[in-house]
């Protein structure tokens, strides 16, 4: 990357797509465009190693059964099939719980080989105890169990050694890297850049620096990285570029400046770290993460990242597909009712803010008269709103108008569960949402959903007061910080109940 020793000129960038967003200067817009896509992600690697572990363990157990048990007992019996599937599944789940499917684990395989092997032994020991107490141990070949147990160690070790080599190659050629932006261009940034350059296993690619200062007050730009703009422009850069990490390189003594900066930056779906290599203040070791020997204070983590994002996507695809099949008669009936009730199309598409504040097109059944449809929701629908049709009142009350958004879920710009995507001009107390609630756009750190924690707790429908919007955002933030597959399932199960008993949607 070419360096720049002066701030880029304030020429307009390529787009200015939403409220609260400012155009980037030309240099920053060009860098952001080059960082729009990435070839390999941490989530992909986690899925790859999980698949390798599962395939290897199941394959070994099946092969041993075929060559040793099948000649004497015949085809694979159900009693063998259950442990063949369940033992690898439990092992992979435990390895994931102990952070065995993360980038540090791939880069240092020897430490994690022992942990993976130990968890495989724990799962096997539990199976052996269950078989003993249920008195079914004699139903299994001891040679099959013993050979599968020991060869499982070999398979887990081999998978990690091979992936570690692959990760090293991908890191060296730039396919697997963590894209970082430095916040601050003072002496602390200079020290950090030099410390990272000295680390042989550094996977951080510094894509640029943002700072309000220039010239002699920004010595870090002499290290060969471009100064892309002011700190207040960094949020827009983070929305246009796919970056992984914001590294704040400021002294801890600049408390007020740090607080103001974090207030702006935490709305981005990235990890935020603070360089701690120059600080003499020391915290407990668990407070730090390290790149080699370079310490960082962990301030914010990107929610639902890595393997979690893969699991959530698989959950969305599976349940959305089932829902479309099960609800297709209902959707056809709603479409027919809309067509018979008023003229105009059955569906309409509305611009909403999606993940990372990007604009998405959301499908809905039309609930208003065609000549009164408010695409930007400049005026929220209220009780007995004359713009709403007879059928529209019913489908809005029951949220049947949202069912076409299942297609958005399959497309990938919505999730089944998440903060609801609000329309561009939606208001509370006659003010735009982002003007009412401080840090409102932080709810866009995850993909929006058809239903959410706020909706099943009664905060759906009209937001005519500041308190209603604040409660909705509070519930959205709680969901983001406490996400799990079981939480998603719980919200989905509650949704139809709340639709029947809720009173806030018109």
Say yes or no: 226 and 314 in one domain: no
What is the DSSP track for 43-87?
Answer: HHHHHHHHHHHHHHHHHHHHHHIIIIIHHHH-SPPHHHHHHHHHH
Domain count of the fold of the chain: 3
Is residue 12 domain-resident?
A: no
Say yes or no: 187 and 265 in one domain: yes
222-231 pLDDT, tens digit per residue, is 788 888 988 8
Is residue 57 domain-resident?
A: yes
Is residue 16 domain-resident?
A: no
Domain boundary among 126, 152, 172: 172
**pLDDT of 382 above 70:** no
Say yes or no: 30 and 73 in one domain: no
**pLDDT of 84 above 60:** yes
Say yes or no: 368 and 476 in one domain: yes
Say yes or no: 127 and 237 in one domain: no
Say yes or no: 57 and 83 in one domain: yes
Is residue 8 domain-resident?
A: no
Domain boundary among 127, 156, 172: 172
**pLDDT of 1 above 70:** no
User: Considering the chain, what percentage of its residues have pLDDT values greater than 90?
Assistant: 29
Distance between CA atoms of 116 and 132, rounded to whole angstroms?
A: 24
Say yes or no: 271 and 145 in one domain: no
Q: Which domain holds residue 330?
A: 307-501
Selection from 254, 136, 134, 114 nearest residue 184 by Cα: 254
Least confident of 163-177, 285-299, 301-315: 285-299
The CATH number covering residue 239 comes to 3.40.50.720
Q: What is the pLDDT of residue 461?
A: 66
Say yes or no: 80 and 189 in one domain: no
Selection from 504, 365, 353, 315 nearest residue 440 by Cα: 353
Say yes or no: 213 and 100 in one domain: no
Say yes or no: 138 and 286 in one domain: no
Say yes or no: 311 and 242 in one domain: no
Say yes or no: 194 and 285 in one domain: yes
Name the β-bridge partners of 423. 352
Mean pLDDT, residues 388-397 taken together: 86
Domain boundary among 300, 333, 351: 300
């Amino acid at each position: 990357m070419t360096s720049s020793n002066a701030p880029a000129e304030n020429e307009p960038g390529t787009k200015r797509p939403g409220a609260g967003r400012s155009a980037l200067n030309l240099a920053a817009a060009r860098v952001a465009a080059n960082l729009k896509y990435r070839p390999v992600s941490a989530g992909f690697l986690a899925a790859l190693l999980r698949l390798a572990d599962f395939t290897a363990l199941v394959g070994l157990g099946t092969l041993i059964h075929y060559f040793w048990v099948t000649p004497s007992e015949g085809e694979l019996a159900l009693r063998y099939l259950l442990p063949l599937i369940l033992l690898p599944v439990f092992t992979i789940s435990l390895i994931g719980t102990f952070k065995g499917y993360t980038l540090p684990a791939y880069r240092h395989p020897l430490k994690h080989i022992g942990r993976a092997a130990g968890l495989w032994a724990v799962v096997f020991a539990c199976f052996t105890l269950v078989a003993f107490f249920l008195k079914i141990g004699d139903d299994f070949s001891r040679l099959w169990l013993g050979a599968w147990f020991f060869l499982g160690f070999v398979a887990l070790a081999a998978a990690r050694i091979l992936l570690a080599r692959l990760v090293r190659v991908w890191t060296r050629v730039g396919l697997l890297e963590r894209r970082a932006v430095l916040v601050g261009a003072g002496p602390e940034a200079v020290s950090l850049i030099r410390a990272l350059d000295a680390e042989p296993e550094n996977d951080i690619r510094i894509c640029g620096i943002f700072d309000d200062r220039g010239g002699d007050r920004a010595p870090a730009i002499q290290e060969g990285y471009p100064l892309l703009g002011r700190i207040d422009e960094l949020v827009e850069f983070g929305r246009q570029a796919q970056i992984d990490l914001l590294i704040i390189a400021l002294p801890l003594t600049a408390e007020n400046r740090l607080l103001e900066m974090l207030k702006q930056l935490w709305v981005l779906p990235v990890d935020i770290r603070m360089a701690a290599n120059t600080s003499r203040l020391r915290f407990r070791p668990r407070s730090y993460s390290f790149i080699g020997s370079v310490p960082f204070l962990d301030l914010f983590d990107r929610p639902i990242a890595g393997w979690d994002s893969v699991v959530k996507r698989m959950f969305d695809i599976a349940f959305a597909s089932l829902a479309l099949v099960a609800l297709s008669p209902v959707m056809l009936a709603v479409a027919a009712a809309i067509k018979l009730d008023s003229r105009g199309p059955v569906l309409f598409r509305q611009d909403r803010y999606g993940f990372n504040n990007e604009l998405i097109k959301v499908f809905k059944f039309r609930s208003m008269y065609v000549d009164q449809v408010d695409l930007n929701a400049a005026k929220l629908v209220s009780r007995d709103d004359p713009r709403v049709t007879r059928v529209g009142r019913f489908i809005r009350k029951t949220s049947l108008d949202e069912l076409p958004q299942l297609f958005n879920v399959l497309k990938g710009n919505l999730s089944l569960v998440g903060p609801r995507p609000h329309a561009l001009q939606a208001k509370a107390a006659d003010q735009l949402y982002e003007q009412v609630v401080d840090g409102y756009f932080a709810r866009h750190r995850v993909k929006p959903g058809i239903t959410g924690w706020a909706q099943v707790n009664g905060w759906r429908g009209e937001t005519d007061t500041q308190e209603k919007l604040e409660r909705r955002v509070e519930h959205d933030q709680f969901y983001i910080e406490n996400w799990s597959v079981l939480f998603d399932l719980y919200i989905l199960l509650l949704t139809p109940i709340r639709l029947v008993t809720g009173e806030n949607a018109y």
